[in-house]
Structure 1
Amino acid sequence: MIDIGKKIRALRLGNDLTQEELASRLELTKGYISQLENNLTSPSIQTLFAILEVLGTDIHTFFGNEPDLTVVFKKEDFNEKENEELKNTISWIVPNALKYQMEPIIIKLAPGGQSVIDNPHAGEEFGYVLEGQVTLVLNRKRYIIKKGETFYYLANKEHYLINNGTSAAKVLWISTPPMF
């Protein structure tokens, strides 16, 4: 069962409105809004439509049973995999990214480490070097990218990263569509 009062309160707060401000916009009383939010009264259909319009939504969205999407992911949600042979560690920082359009990872490369050699595929890739320095090998051409610099390319050529430096490197790497 849908808790109408709770949903109205959440929408009101999401719009940064007080009960008084919402009531004023609807020519209702603050007490009536309070009663609605506490499920002590029910709005007429006409009043509900007016409330939803002021709160920037509609009846279909309000009563839709779409589950809330997770928007924030914490470190404990990340999945990490170490590749000792290639001297890298990949952290998938958005769980189940395969269902999205982009897949962000953080790859840590030890000195002498590299990513897997990625064959040409559809899509685009972007990276931001968080620590150290890496070499992007794109279709056998090499690009040196330092901390604070970015790279962006179409993924239709063989590509991978190498850490030729003496300290570890860390890169935020985003692929679309998800590939890692």
Structure 2
Amino acid sequence: MKIDIQPTQLGTEDRPSEANQGRLGIRLRLARQTLGMTLKALATAVDCSESLLSKIENGKASPSLPMLHRLVEVLGTNIGWMFEETDGEEGIVFRAGTRPLIGLDPLRRGEGISLERIIPYSPGHLLQCNIHHIEPGGESAGPIQHAGEEVGYMLAGSIELMVGEKTFKLSVGDSFVFKSELPHWYRNVGTTRASIFWVNTPATF
């Protein structure tokens, strides 16, 4: 997935800030070097090519969400730290129009999905909260599984949510909760953009 970070309001399509695009690569390289790991050793540990990992560290490519989970597990960190930001007004209020948007690369799985951050990535938060915007035909990378719990509320559109071996069709006003250890992914099965208010704990992404 390609990580594009930009201020946004719901439904806007502003271009990403170039100053923030390399944050993931810089943090990834720092975490690897702190552990004294070579590029080759980390690539082997997370089952990816050394050339891809090099591109990620240099801001020329980004990992899929499942690969990102493998990276932080091997490095002993968390995804929140990879994107840690300064809190808003006293770390309490985050104004409309200032929330960054993470766009997923359309050339990889995760096509047509963007994540609008409701609160910033910070070690001070026990929760991670985003609005997932999914274009028609878009689907998340996965299935993925990790520690924690997921809660969501459908704001717009309709999706199929797969949790474990079960599939659920959700539309506006529906909500859900499940343990993150269960394999899960979702896709937009409607003809319009779907939006999900999504909270998970602990804060991993």
Under a length normalisation based on structure 1, what TM-score does the superposition of the two structures give?
0.58
- Cα drift, residue 70 of structure 1: 1.9
Partner amino acid, structure 1, of 2:94? F
Q: What residue is the counterpart of 2:127 in the other structure?
A: 102
1:71 match: 92
Q: Does 2:141 match 1:116? A: yes
Q: Which runs of structure 2 are paired with 1:153-164 in the superposition (5 Å)? A: 153-164=178-189
Query: Structure 2: how far apart are the matches of 1:115 and 1:178?
Result: 18
Contact in 2 for aligned 1:102/1:175 (Cα 8 Å): yes
Task: Write the letter of the residue equivalent to 2:103.
Answer: E
CA distance 1:122–1:146, change in 2 (3 Å): same
> Percent same amino acid among aligned pairs?
27
Alignment partner, residue 178 of structure 1: 203
Q: Higher RCO, 1 or 2 (CA under 8 Å, sep at least 6)? A: 2
For residues 98 and 133 of structure 1, do their structure 2 counterparts lie closer, same or farther at Cα, with a shift above 3 Å needed?
Answer: farther
Deviation at 1:140, TM superposition (A): 3.5
Matched, 1:151 2:159: no
Once the two structures are superposed, what CA deviation does each residue of 1:26-62 show, in whole Å capped at 9, x if it has no partner?
A: xxxxxxxxxxxxxxxxxxxxxxxxxxxxxxxxxxxxx
Distance in 2, matches of 1:148 and 1:97, equals 29
The structure with more radius of gyration: 1
- Asked if structure 2 preserves the Cα contact closer than 8 Å seen for 1:78 and 1:92, the reply is yes
Partners of 1:97 and 1:103 within 8 A in 2: no
In structure 2, what is the Cα distance between the partners aligned to 1:158 and 1:125? 12
Gaps of 5+ in 1: 1-67
Instruction: Give the CA deviation at 1:74.
Output: 0.9
The alignment of Structure 1 onto Structure 2 pairs a total of residues equal to 113
Specify every segment of 5 or more residues in structure 2 that has no aligned partner in the other structure, as ranges: 1-88
Kindly indicate whether the alpha-carbon contact (under 8 Å) linking 1:77 and 1:93 is maintained by their aligned counterparts in 2.
no
TM-score (normalised: structure 2): 0.51
Q: CA deviation at 1:81?
A: 1.6
Partner Cα distance (1:118, 1:77) in 2: 31
Could you say which residue in structure 1 is the equivalent of 2:162?
137
Q: CA deviation at 1:98?
A: 4.2
